[in-house]
Amino acid sequence: MKKKKKIIIVFASIFAAVLSLYIIFVIIIHVMSLTPSGAVKVRILKDYHPIIALKSKPYYDEVETSYLRKTMYSISERYESPDNTFPVTMFSVKKHNGKYIAYDEPEPG
């Protein structure tokens, strides 16, 4: 009986730790989405490129913004889109309910 209680306590501890990490991750993602460049990093994370997300320094792209008439941010390092249809270096950024959301954009031309 004691062994069964220990197993339950260990399982509950592991579950609590995993749940805590998940909650912290969700809070970090939400806080990052409060700025346009943070939203771009969140988008890169969602596209399964965590190293590029950590290294990238998204910047406001005035030329592309005026050309496409959307708020555009760019990164210097490129990666393939999740469906491998185009290389990603640009993102359109929109504000929705107080937080920013970035969308992959194929290069014009």
pLDDT for 109: 63
Instruction: Please say whether the beta carbons of 81 and 105 come within 8 A.
Output: no
- Read off the amino acid at residue 15: F
pLDDT for 65: 94
If 0-12 CB within 10 Å is exposed, 13-18 middle and 19+ buried, where does residue 59 land? middle
pTM here is 0.80
pLDDT for 80: 93
pLDDT for 24: 93
Cα-Cα-Cα-Cα torsion 32, 36, 42, 105, nearest 10 degrees, comes to 180
Q: What is the mean pLDDT of each run of 10 residues along the chain (109 residues)?
A: 86 95 90 94 94 95 94 95 93 95 87
pLDDT for 1: 67
